[in-house]
Chains A and B, each alone.
Chain A
Amino acid sequence: MNRLIDHTRQLSPPRWTVLPRAVWPLLAGVVVALIAYYLVGPNISGFSSKLMLIAGTNIILAVSLTVVNGFTGQFSMGHAGFMAVGGYISATITYYGSIKLLGTAEFAGGALSWTGSGAHAGPFIGKGDLIFVASCIMGGLGSAAAGYIVGLPSLRLRGDYLAIVTLGFGEIVRVLLQGTPDQVQPWKASQAVDTPWYELLIKLGGPKGFNLLPTYTTLFWVYLFVVLTLIVCYRLKTSSSGRAFLSIREDEVAAQAMGVDVTKYKVRAFVIASFFAGLAGGLYAMDIGAINAGDLGFQKSFDFIIMVVLGGMGSISGATLAAIILTLLPEVLRDLPPVWPAGLVLLGIMAVVQAVRKHWHVKSLVGVGIGTIVLEGARQFCLSQGINIADFRLILYALLLIVMMIARPQGLFGIREVWELFGRKKKAVGSGQ
């Protein structure tokens, strides 16, 4: 027995690596975030950096939804509802917290949160930043609590019924938030200082939305949390919890028979996913300086579901890529650039992947080729006839979605991660077949 314990000790990694292994995601996040904020941000246009911010929050939302819809195979249609819960909690804490603690709802952040023009004169990290980060995490925790409550019905419900309950949850959250009284306007902040906090907490703006929030969200904060989310979710996928999630997705009854506590893991998936959704809600609110429950209905949830399905069910890199593509696509379609370079690049990548895996699939190559020619032809036709493509971009978006689902139902990467595509038909993490 003792020998067995000794043997296990030898197998486990040395003690001194515990701290580095725990901390490196945070360090990686800070490094990526600093690069995004100091190197990328100043060198692209304001519009591009705004798109990068939106893409970042969408990545967090899509990847967190992957935990429920992709890993665990449950179907949540209320992700925007969790986003709304977290967003409103962190907006409340930031706005009224700033008023209570600092006396004003004005921006009080440091250089890392500075979105205005010119160099920032204040400290590196201001008091406002601390309130903001704390509020985002509180928003995540509040949303996780909501996720626990919503996850509980999944004891009884499965499949579509669970989807409908989450949809109902999202809509109820929306209606309740829209029924709240008007917010205390910033110019009345001095009166609000003396108001008890429990009276402030319900004044969330109602149908007009919660506006004039201080904008703290910068590329730094968004990409810090993006990297953390990605690493946490990838580690989750390869952990014992993750294997339990995947087993539930593949076959719930078999998982139960193998001793997986199905209920516990389903609820756990919901809690984790809603935590990150709430966090992203906070980033979203303090990015545009306003949050309106009316924008966060089920149609917003559909956006995230589309990202997850397009990326491949359970592929973190796929969801990330899909989030980026779907954020940029409506903007790209606004002024459609030539299609053929993208088509050629796609063909090249597909050819390389198929050559490496020694598994030729000529039909897909021909399909992409014909698709590129047709699209480019249509574009040339529109240009020659003077038809404005931007008018039809939402139609194109819908068509692309339908064609994509029919042509590649498993999403971009299926259940694999992008780097697993290049292995020679190696089994993917969690591949059921």
Chain B
Amino acid sequence: MTQFLQTLFDGVTVGCLYALIALGYTMVYGILKFINFAHSDVFALGVWLSITIASWLGIGATGQPTPAWYMGLLVLMGAMVICGLVGFTIERVAYKPLRKAPRLNVLITAIGVSLLLQNLGQQKFTFGPYPKSFPTLMESSSLFSVSGVQVRLSDVAVIGTAVVLMAALQYLIYHTKLGSAMRAVSFNTRNASLMGINVDRVISFTFIVGTMLAAAAGFLYGLKYEGQAKQTADSMWVMLGLKAFVAAVVGGIGNVRGAVLGGLLIGLIEFFGVAYLSSQYRDAYVFAILILVLLLKPEGVLGKATVEKV
């Protein structure tokens, strides 16, 4: 029972991270209809920016006490803002000139941007070519335990921040003018522009929001796994991003609530597979679920089936 609850808890925590990254994939796909392969690298950038900002603020130096709670928030905000700027730049420089090009070209450009971010990130003048450990921002001892499940402060922070961000996104998309513009562009770009919506601005904004969420996920990832943050060109980041992308597809790509549901689903499947079947095939469970969902319900759990018109 304890193992079941512990797995459930871990699955939900990591599922929240997947959901945050998946939101970026799904929002970009919803509007531009292409898979933004550079998103996983923005996530890695979020982790590394958090480390760098924390060290600027003097957190994590030896002999320092655990920093005040608002320092963590400061790091999170800093990482989100810088990543948002990076996302804006990427969209303007690399993707905007290709608005009318075949989607495959945009995809290759995304791969190029991804390679660029990976290799820029591990230069000597940026983050360096060696793994670093994430600074301690919170007490790592367990906060309380429920029937044997150890709940740490960082886990609570991960789930709490993720829920707050998702709620904010939900509000942004369904209750603001900008959100309805985003939905309109996603529904039909041409008609939206005829209705006087500045499509380019909406797309830029979507990228900014998506990359900020990825940066937040990066920060929370560092909070949860304090150990070693691998260098930016390590394939672990792409793998994590790919799983988040699978989450977006499983939930129904282009659907914001689907991304959250898919993230939780993928997190739970991964952790239950590891706990009860075998840890060797960890990545295979995720992709097997992906193929299963695509074969049975290609539009995803919450996606709407589209009818192709001639």
Contact = CB atoms under 8 A, between A and B. Distances in A.
B291 interface: yes
B115 A398 contact: yes
Nearest to A75: B104
Interface of B: 33-35, 94, 97-98, 101-102, 104-109, 111-113, 115-116, 119-120, 123, 235, 238, 242, 246, 249, 253, 280-284, 287-288, 290-291, 294-295, 298, 308, 310
B131 to A, nearest CB: 18
A289 to B, nearest CB: 23
A406 B94 contact: yes
For chain A, which range describes its interface: under 10, 10 to 19, 20 to 34, or 35 or more residues? 35 or more
A4 to B, nearest CB: 37
A306 B102 CA distance: 14
Contact of B294 (A164, A253, A405): A164
Nearest to B289: A168
A305 B108 contact: yes
Given A171-B283, A175-B284, A179-B281, A309 B104 contact: yes
Contacts of B294: 153, 157, 161, 164-165, 168
A347 to B, nearest CB: 23
A153 B295 CA distance: 7
10 contacts: A153-B291, A156-B298, A160-B34, A161-B249, A164-B294, A172-B288, A395-B119, A398-B112, A401-B111, A405-B109
Contacts of B284: 171-172, 175-176
B290 A164 contact: yes
Nearest to B310: A253
Given A165-B291, A168-B291, A398-B112, A405 B283 contact: no
A310 B104 CA distance: 11
Secondary structure dominating the interface of B? helix
A164 B111 contact: no
A37 interface: no
Interface in A155-183: 156-157, 160-161, 163-165, 167-169, 171-172, 174-176, 178-179
A9 B284 CA distance: 56
A318 B19 CA distance: 40
A391 interface: yes
A397 interface: yes
Contact of A402 (B104, B116, B298): B116
A234 interface: no
A302 interface: yes
A299 interface: yes
A220 interface: no
B69 to A, nearest CB: 38
Contacts of A171: 242, 283-284, 287
A160 B35 CA distance: 8
A409 B104 CA distance: 9
A402 B280 CA distance: 37
A209 interface: no
Given A176-B281, A405-B98, A406-B97, A297 B115 contact: no
B98 A409 contact: yes
Nearest to B285: A175
Contacts of A168: 246, 287-288, 290-291, 294
A174 B288 CA distance: 13
A399 interface: yes
Interface in A276-322: 297-299, 302, 305-306, 309-310, 313
B62 to A, nearest CB: 31
Contacts of B123: 391-392, 395
B116 A179 contact: no
Nearest to A393: B119
- Name the 4 nearest CB pairs between A and B, nearest first: A401-B112, A398-B116, A398-B115, A168-B287
A178 B35 CA distance: 27
Interface in A92-118: none
A290 B107 CA distance: 31
A175 B281 CA distance: 6
Nearest to A162: B294
A394 interface: yes
Contacts of A392: 123
A397 B123 CA distance: 15
B298 A161 contact: yes
Contacts of A397: 115
Given A168-B291, A176-B281, A402-B94, A306 B109 contact: no
B108 A401 contact: yes
A161 to B, nearest CB: 5
B95 to A, nearest CB: 10
B290 A405 contact: no
A410 to B, nearest CB: 9
B238 A299 contact: yes
A405 B108 contact: yes
B166 to A, nearest CB: 24
A309 B108 contact: yes
A156 B104 contact: no
B254 to A, nearest CB: 11
A167 B290 CA distance: 10
A398 B109 contact: no
A397 B108 CA distance: 13
A43 B123 CA distance: 38
A161 B299 CA distance: 9
A394 B121 CA distance: 12
A69 B104 CA distance: 10
